[in-house]
Amino acid sequence: MPAKQPASVDTEGFGRELDKIRDEVLASLGERDAAYIRGVIAAQRKLELTGRALLFASWLPPAWAAGTAALAVAKILENMEIGHNVLHGQWDWMRDPKIHSTTWEWDMASPADQWKHSHNFVHHTWTNVLGKDRDIGYSAMRISPEQPWHPIYLAQPFYNALLALFFEYGIAIYDLELERIPSGRRDPKEALAQARAVAAKIRRQIVKDYVAFPLLAGPAFLPVLLGNLTANMARNVWAHTIIFCGHFPEGAHIFTEDRLENETRGEWYLRQLLGSCNIDGGRLLHIMSGNLSHQIEHHLFPDLPSNRYAEIAPRVRALCERFGLPYTSGSLARQAGSVWKRVLRMALPGPGRPSAADSSAQALKAAA
């Protein structure tokens, strides 16, 4: 059960304390941090090379399994701990053109520039604000009682499972904002230009994983193709799981647009806190999740290097306790179960019954 909440929250004091944490981290960035990201990139490339080499010998079943696993881990690292965080500008302070948000292109269907707009700007600015943050349900699912119900949502458990398998393509299409064209909120010509960029990126990805490498394998064409497909799907399911567990389990809250009126820095921090959930685990889980297991810290400080989240998480938690604020965290199994429970419940008509955590958050939002 959540702790009893105070009648009011000193949001500006909370914000000032978080600013202090941010300033301390920025002032201490140095070679240790640079060595970390360079080490992760080197390890990822070695894993990918090993995985692809083993797949070329996939006429031996153990080689196929080991190669597919290594390639899947390499793709997860490239997507989560490297690509996502580099594109957030977390490593721009290094001034290394090879590890910079303006030059990095990741191994995903979404072109980096389009993803940076929809994710870095839209999502992280308007986190969990209904009508502003399109990541609430990804324009395809109902995950909050505040969203009007429609019969199509009855099928959302099924298409959410499909989305997990093909997550990179779902996100690429979602970033195009095609649903806004009929209402005139989206320029069709601009959407078409971006769609062409997405198609070109997807074509390159398909040629690389499903044509070029299988052809290079000669007689192992089919096993290599299947290995690449399996690795990509494993990466997609993992990314979908981590992202949904950080945004949609019980304890993650939705806001209305009036919450944004005259929003202060402290209130912005509070919204990020209430709209995010962490995943408990060890160092391996944190690295493999791109440190998005520290989703709260990521939303509070999206441009701080991900390797610092684990060290500042205890300070953020202590700060929340000091100000009487919730800090939602749970095991991967618990958070994933909570997400699927929400997906299943919101597929049905009706607002659902708010949880105790939801009720306390409403009081906090009103107090703030």
Name the band, by pLDDT with cuts 50, 70 and 90, for residue 352. low
Name the band, by pLDDT with cuts 50, 70 and 90, for residue 364. low
CA–CA gap between residue 184 and residue 175 (Å, rounded): 17
Indicate whether 353 pLDDT > 60: no
| Pair 116, 139: CB distance under 8 Å | no
| Pair 130, 70: CB distance under 8 Å | no
The pTM of this model reads 0.92
CA–CA gap between residue 176 and residue 193 (Å, rounded): 10
At residue 95, the 3 state secondary structure works out as coil
- Flag the least confident range among 199-203, 288-292, 347-351: 347-351
CA–CA gap between residue 290 and residue 133 (Å, rounded): 22
| 218-241: average pLDDT | 97
**What is the pLDDT at residue 139?**
81
Mean pLDDT of the chain: 92
| 25-44: average pLDDT | 98
pLDDT digits (tens, 9 = 90+) for 79-115: 999 999 999 999 999 999 999 999 999 999 999 999 9
**What is the pLDDT at residue 59?**
84
Could you tell me which residue, 356 or 207, shows the higher pLDDT? Answer: 207
Q: What DSSP element (H or E) covers 330?
A: strand 329-331
pLDDT digits (tens, 9 = 90+) for 3-34: 333 447 899 999 999 999 999 999 999 999 99
Please give the structure tokens belonging to residue 215: 């052809």
Indicate whether 2 pLDDT > 60: no
Could you tell me which residue, 259 or 212, shows the higher pLDDT? Answer: 212
Indicate whether 203 pLDDT > 60: yes
Q: How would you class 262 by CB atoms within 10 Å of its CB: exposed for 0-12, middle for 13-18, buried for 19 or more? A: exposed
Residue 330: beta bridge partners? Answer: 279
Domain extent listing, the chain: 11-28+106-367
Please give the structure tokens belonging to residue 21: 């944490």
CA–CA gap between residue 229 and residue 15 (Å, rounded): 45
| % of residues, the chain, pLDDT over 90 | 82
| Pair 356, 1: CB distance under 8 Å | yes
| 220-240: average pLDDT | 97
**Residue 291 DSSP class:** T
Name the band, by pLDDT with cuts 50, 70 and 90, for residue 180. confident
Could you tell me which residue, 188 or 287, shows the higher pLDDT? Answer: 287
> Measured between alpha carbons, how far is residue 157 from residues 101, 137, 140, 251, 343 in Å?
35, 12, 11, 20, 6
**What is the pLDDT at residue 367?**
46
